[in-house]
Amino acid sequence: MVSISRRGLLAAGAALPLLGLKARAQAPGKVLRFALSSFPPSMQPWMHTGTAALTVKLLIFRGLTGFDEKGEVRPELAESWTQDGPTGWVFKLREATFHNGKPVTAEDVKWTLEQVAAPNSTAFMKAEFGGVDRIETPDPRTVRIVMKEPTVTLPIWLASPHMPIIAKDSIEGRAGLGIGAGPFTLKGQERGVSIEVAKFDKYYKPGLPKLAGVKLTAYADENLRVAALQAGDVDLIEYVPWQHMNAIEKDPRLSLVATDGPFMGLNFNGGSGPFKDVRLRQAVAHAVRREEIVQAAFFGRGSKLEGIPIAPGSPWFDEARSKYWAYDKDKAKKLMAEAGVANGFSCTLLSTAQYGMHKSTAEIVQAHLSEIGIEVKLNLPDWAGRVDAAGKGRYEFMVQGTTADNNDPDGLAPLIDGDLPPNMARSWQIPTPEMHMLFAKGRAEFDPAKRKAIYAELETVALKQAPLVGLAWRSQGYGMTKGVTGFKSYPGSTNFFSAYSMEETSLA
């Protein structure tokens, strides 16, 4: 077997379209070639390290629940669940097998939830599952989870790709991968280059997955990622660059599936630097002409986001609140004067050069803030460096490209609840006790009308405190050859979870 270096692989991907080579044929049921936007910094099951890592984890792991193509909760390892009293939930497990051949049992579920909620846990959803009072396992296929407070959102939390069920005691140390029960098993990887997974013959859904396997190769350069698709080197790519969407749509060999839902925004360091002052966060929010981000970063495939990311069309959406941070240069300068820096100040903006949308967004923010006297220096590491800096609070403010955890307002908590443990997905050291209380109140309320009133109040508080400043909704696209069928682009906030549909994906 001939080994190809990563540099050689990427160079070949760039050259093929220029040589006019035809796409190589791919037999049905064989290995699908997937181009990732980056190599996952970590595949530790309960951590959040970006969309590329999520894609891989959704191939090899499954949780008690999951999301369907409508963005709604569906059964996975749990075949059913029922509410049991004001704080209890009972989950009935289906017959399922881990990749090590052992059955998925209630004890594995109990162990998983305990690891996530442990005091030394670095899990993305540690705070949510810190609300568990006790876990009972009356038999191997029954789990009773009793929360400390009523929690209507528990089945939604369990559907998160950050909450897979892992075989008991199969993780050694914080960096361990663990053994899952997903549709594919990890076959091998070349660190920094590619990951291969193979069909798991004992997957609990008969007839799935349809593919024999998936080879995921990292194409950090977005233009090379598109070139690889056009050349026939890969079958499916994520993060289609917006400038290439038209070309893919017009190519008779290819197709594009895209949806709005992910967004761009700004996070701030509230522990040190100028943005401890909420007036300066608000000043920044009013100083950006968002339509320019939509055009420059997304080639018009998106829309302005002038508030907290609650999508138009959502039952929780309010038109007036959605325009709270409309562009107002005079208001921005007034806020700066009130904060004692009428003549401006200097600061550093963390972003990344690895994704064009992040870099373009940062450059526009930099240009617009210079108009009100804020001198911005850009820090543009690669994605792994950006993840590390964000997770450790090594920034003054930061470009954020993400989505809520789900389409319920509670899915915004990981992005704006500053009383949760530190994480790369939200601002650093900006306490939000009132918002934290309102999130708790909302997830404890089972009446839809009362929940709506709670979240309206919460949105108002979030706009005033500005732990997250929205900039732009963006269309998120996957490009693929016409031979790929069954892959779905998930709606709204679940778009990054589209790899759930890889179990149904096949090659014609």
pLDDT tens digits for range 386-396: 999 999 999 99
* Average pLDDT score over residue span 15-38: 59
Amino acid making up residue 140: P
How distant, in Å, are the alpha carbons of 10, 219, 231, 239 from that of 225?
9, 5, 10, 9
Q: How confident is the model at residue 292 (pLDDT cuts 50, 70, 90)?
A: very high
Q: How confident is the model at residue 4 (pLDDT cuts 50, 70, 90)?
A: very low
Q: Which residues contact 171 (CB under 8 A, 6 or more apart)?
A: 45, 115, 177, 178
Amino acid making up residue 435: M
pTM, 2 dp: 0.79
Tell me if residue 35 falls in helix, strand or coil: strand
Specify the pLDDT at position 29: 59
* Average pLDDT score over residue span 412-424: 91
Q: Is the pLDDT of residue 507 over 80?
A: yes
User: CA-to-CA distance for 447 and 108, rounded, in angstroms?
Assistant: 33
Specify the pLDDT at position 209: 97
User: CA-to-CA distance for 221 and 38, rounded, in angstroms?
Assistant: 9
User: CA-to-CA distance for 211 and 263, rounded, in angstroms?
Assistant: 31
Strand-pair category, 142-147 with 31-36: unpaired
Give residue-wise pLDDT tens across range 304-335.
Answer: 999 999 988 888 999 999 999 999 999 999 99
Specify the pLDDT at position 176: 63
* Least confident stretch, 122-131, 148-157, 334-343, 452-461: 122-131
Give residue-wise pLDDT tens across range 57-113.
Answer: 999 999 999 999 999 999 999 999 999 999 999 999 999 999 999 999 999 999 999
Specify the pLDDT at position 42: 87
Specify the pLDDT at position 294: 96
* Average pLDDT score over residue span 261-283: 97
Q: Which residues contact 5 (CB under 8 A, 6 or more apart)?
A: none
Q: Is the pLDDT of residue 6 over 50?
A: no
Q: Is the pLDDT of residue 172 over 80?
A: no
* Average pLDDT score over residue span 184-197: 95
* Average pLDDT score over residue span 135-139: 98
Closest to 37 in 3D by CA, of 358, 383, 361, 301 = 383
Give residue-wise pLDDT tens across range 431-463.
Answer: 999 999 999 999 999 999 999 999 999 999 999
How distant, in Å, are the alpha carbons of 28, 84, 304, 489, 494 from that of 499?
19, 32, 27, 8, 10
pLDDT above 70 as % of the chain? 93
Q: Which residues contact 164 (CB under 8 A, 6 or more apart)?
A: 45, 46, 57, 61, 62, 63, 112, 180, 182
Contact 226, 250 (CB under 8 A): no
